[in-house]
Amino acid sequence: MALEMCVLASGSGGNATLLRAGTFCALIDAGIGPRTADKRMIGTGIGMQDIRAICLTHMDADHFSPRWLEPICQNQISVYCPQNHAREIRRLARREKLLKPLTRHLKIFGNELFELNTGLTCRSICLPHDKQGSQGFLIQFQNARIGFATDLGRVPVELIDLFAGADIIAMESNYDPDMQLASRRAQRIKDRIMGGHGHLSNQEAFEAVQDMFDLTAQRHGPDRRPRHVVLLHRSRQCNSPARIREAFGQDHRIHEVLTLAHQDQRTEWLSSGPRQPLPGEQLAMFSPVASPD
């Protein structure tokens, strides 16, 4: 059975990605409001009533909107939040007087492997982004895998290793350096973005994905490569589809399976497709810590 993803929105205006594994549906991040998300889901075969879980990379405003707190409580949606961002989601819930109902659905995870649903696992990895970092995920359902990483200032070696063998790689490709330097942004913003704890340039993202392709071929043979590469969180001011395609066009293996995510429109469903299991795909799991009342 396939593991599928559909990016509803990606960028500084809000991020949300649909996951579907069998009949189970979840979101990675919820940075656009529920009404906008519901409209973007039109044509996907999924509606708000189908979302059973939200898995958060971090708690920046473009990755989690407080407008989701009420639907989470009303629809009994499980929320998986990184341990170092749990204080922020509780603060937002307290402000909205929803802390007690939220705690029934809040699950805290660390840098480990946990289960979103029966057979649907998620291994998290801490990524360098601002002071508190963000989380990347390797999501697995049966023999299918999706690697998801956004908002990272540099690429840890461990991420290359984790994503090698993934059927779908979703990776941030935020800015073009020349456009960034020529922009009217304040120097402190440029320094933050380009300083190793902000975001990835097109070339940095390309080199990381290329390393993942190479390591996959080395481990599993030249015919075993990702079915899709999805590029996330493109800057409107300091990047363009043409600049991205120029960078990723350096490797035909990647360019021919490339999908660009957008801020104002969703992608199509991207499927892992059926395949044979890779060695070592059965991994031990832990249970996320339920949030105390």
231 domain residue, yes or no:
yes
Task: Tell the residue number behind the tokens 């989690």, with chain if given.
Answer: 64
Q: Report how many domains make up the chain.
A: 1
Q: Which domain holds residue 42?
A: 3-271
288 domain residue, yes or no:
no
106-109 and 289-290 beta bridge pairing: antiparallel
Q: Which amino acid would we find at residue 228?
A: H
pLDDT digit string, tens, across residues 162-180: 999 999 999 999 999 999 9
Tell me the pLDDT of the chain (293 aa) as tens digits: 689 999 999 999 999 999 999 999 999 999 999 999 999 999 999 999 999 999 999 999 999 999 999 999 999 999 999 999 999 999 999 999 999 999 999 999 988 899 999 999 999 999 989 888 899 999 999 889 999 999 999 999 999 999 999 999 999 999 999 999 999 999 999 999 999 999 999 999 999 999 999 999 999 998 889 999 999 999 999 999 999 999 999 999 999 999 999 999 999 999 997 665 655 544 444 445 454 44
97 domain residue, yes or no:
yes
pLDDT at 130: 86
Give Cβ neighbours of residue 52 (< 8 Å, ≥ 6 apart): 24, 25, 26, 77, 78, 117
229 domain residue, yes or no:
yes
- Helix (H) or strand (E) run with residue 213 in it: helix 202-220
Regarding pTM above 0.75, the answer is yes
Q: Which two tokens stand for residue 32?
A: 């656009």
Q: What is the CATH number of the domain that holds 265?
A: 3.60.15.10
289 domain residue, yes or no:
no
The length of the chain is 293
278 domain residue, yes or no:
no
Closest CA to 28 of 120, 99, 103: 120
